[in-house]
Structure 1
Amino acid sequence: MPQLNFVKQGKGSTVVLSHSMGCDLGMWDEVAALLQPRHTVLRYDHRGHGRSEVVPGPCTMEALADDAAALIEQHARGPVTFVGLGMGGMVGQQIAVRYPHLIKSLVLANSASRFGEAASAALLARARGALTLGMAALADEALANWFTPGFLAEPGPAAARVAAARAAFIATDAQAYVASCEALLQADFRRSNPLIACPALVIAGAQDSNISIEMTDTLCRTISGAQLRIIDTGRLSAVERPTDFANLVIEFLNSL
């Protein structure tokens, strides 16, 4: 297993936060701060992202779920609530089936059970660009995919969060980014998701240009009893509207 960078803070039952591709655990800063008074928050960098170890060669969703499971087994007590956004949401779908004893509830944000033709083509283009042009050359496109135009134009705290997201994207290892893209392209959870037995919340971004409301609704319908909530954001809903995001998670956990 690769060495994963992680941060564990707070008190109470454990909530694991799993970030989107091309980001790092810093994307959860505001959400983590809102959850910590009631929960122990364990957030981590995926392999090849942030300060986690780069693993050469291809990657699979199974391997990413194995990474997360090993982290949970080492640093959490009992089953956890797993919150994943984007790629983290794909990891959540995999870990809930592969390691059901570790997951008591699931939050899947801005994610899908599989990528359609348009989303797959966009992912493939970004993977090629990462290898030929480098991560910095793709940063503006990534930010435009992640955030609404209004949020990108906001000054103050919003601008600081955008700058942090840009820095994390540029710092991501290009080969790891490509491997993550390939793992996402191969993922298809339409048959395995009906095996998920834990309570689940699905969060969509109303202005997410890559993961449409239709794709998120399809994901929601593959998991028995899953609830769908929509936030008026782009792809990185937890960064753009962290208070709204955290409130949805807290409301969900309080309902269990």
Structure 2
Amino acid sequence: MEIWYDRQGTGDPLFLLHPGGVDSRAFDVNVAGLKYRFTLWRADRRGHGRTADVAGPFTFGAMADDLIALQERHIGPAHVLGCSDGAAVALTLALRRPDLVRGLVLVAGVYHHDGWLPGVLDTDEDTLEWLGRSHAEVSPDGEGHYRVVAAKLDDLHAREPAYTEEDLKGVTARTLVMVGDDDEVRLEHALQLYRALPDGELAVVPGTSHGLLVEKPELCHQMISEFLLRDPVPTFAPIRRRQVGASG
């Protein structure tokens, strides 16, 4: 299948994986703020944006495999940032092909579908219509197909992701977990994700929701750049990291 992608900016490669139900345009404000620090790659996943849908259900594994093929052909090893559903794809990519992930940023995402707060994935009719109009602006599948995409996403979210904390030990990349303090992801779940990762850092962005990347872009860009472009600093009184280092 043909995946739509683009490239902008200069610097270390950073692959941006968009949320579910929307497309790479969701990162427009972030591209404007990060393109002078990174070479930014964006891709619309199957059934999203400018990439056509394919027969059969959505799985995060299939989506990750599509992007792995794109990385192998065009990008190579890169920092990978995924937001919401994109975080689940990024996590899957990091577990399947750790050689392609230099640094990992998981924004407002879950490692298991029970990490969402109850009801947050239910979409009302007005939102469905708005998303459908946005989809129709660029989709090769034509107006009206978004209802099919939405049904596939509902099915996907009922089953995936379904990683365990044991699975997360397989993530070899240094990882930043980012979440809004009023996010659709349970904060307890974000903490579980952070604690289960072998080399994780945590950022709870104050005064933000599930849309933290567009609500406080400058603060998020600073955190992302600091994490990906600088080495970790030695801390004065480590607790968790001292324990991780002692067991390594």
Q: Which of the five TM-score ranges fits, normalised by the shorter chain?
A: 0.7 to 0.9
Q: CA 1:110/1:247 → structure 2, altered by over 3 Å: closer, same or farther?
A: same
What code does the residue aligned with 2:186 have?
S
Conserved 8 A contact 2:88-2:111: yes
TM-score by structure 1 length? 0.78
Conserved 8 A contact 2:132-2:147: no
Q: Distance in 2 between matches of 1:198 and 1:219?
A: 14
- 1:156 corresponds to which residue? none
Identity %: 27
Of 122, 127, 139, which residue of structure 1 is paired with 2:127?
139
Q: Distance in 2 between matches of 1:240 and 1:167?
A: 23
What code does the residue aligned with 2:64 have?
A
Of 183, 204, 212, which residue of structure 1 is paired with 2:186?
212
- 2:203 corresponds to which residue? 229
User: Is 1:168 paired with 2:134?
Assistant: yes
- 2:140 corresponds to which residue? none
Count residues in correspondence. Answer: 221
Task: Describe how 1:32-71 pairs up with structure 2 within 5 A.
Answer: 32-71=31-70
Aligned-residue Cα RMSD (Å) equals: 2.4
- 1:97 corresponds to which residue? 95
Structure richer in helix, relative to its length: 1
1:138 positional shift: 4.2
Q: Distance in 2 between matches of 1:177 and 1:227?
A: 33
Task: Describe how 1:149-168 pairs up with structure 2 within 5 A.
Answer: 168=134
- 2:111 corresponds to which residue? 113
Is the partner of 1:192 in helix, strand or coil?
A: helix
- 1:202 corresponds to which residue? 177
Is the partner of 1:116 in helix, strand or coil?
A: helix
Q: CA 1:44/1:100 → structure 2, altered by over 3 Å: closer, same or farther?
A: same
Is the partner of 1:55 in helix, strand or coil?
A: coil
What code does the residue aligned with 2:214 have?
V
Q: With a CA cutoff of 8 Å and minimum separation of 6, indicate the structure with the bigger relative contact order.
A: 1
Unaligned stretches of 5+ residues in structure 1:
130-136, 143-162
1:120 positional shift: 6.5
What code does the residue aligned with 1:62 have?
G
1:178 positional shift: 2.3
Conserved 8 A contact 1:107-1:202: yes
What code does the residue aligned with 2:16 have?
L
What code does the residue aligned with 2:223 have?
L
Moved more, 214-223 or 88-97: 214-223
- 1:177 corresponds to which residue? 150
Q: Distance in 2 between matches of 1:83 and 1:21?
A: 14
Of 178, 186, 189, which residue of structure 1 is paired with 2:163?
189
CA displacement 1:110-141 (0-9 Å, x = unmatched): 01111228647553x44xx7xxxxxxx2418x
Is the partner of 1:207 in helix, strand or coil?
A: coil
Is the partner of 1:48 in helix, strand or coil?
A: coil
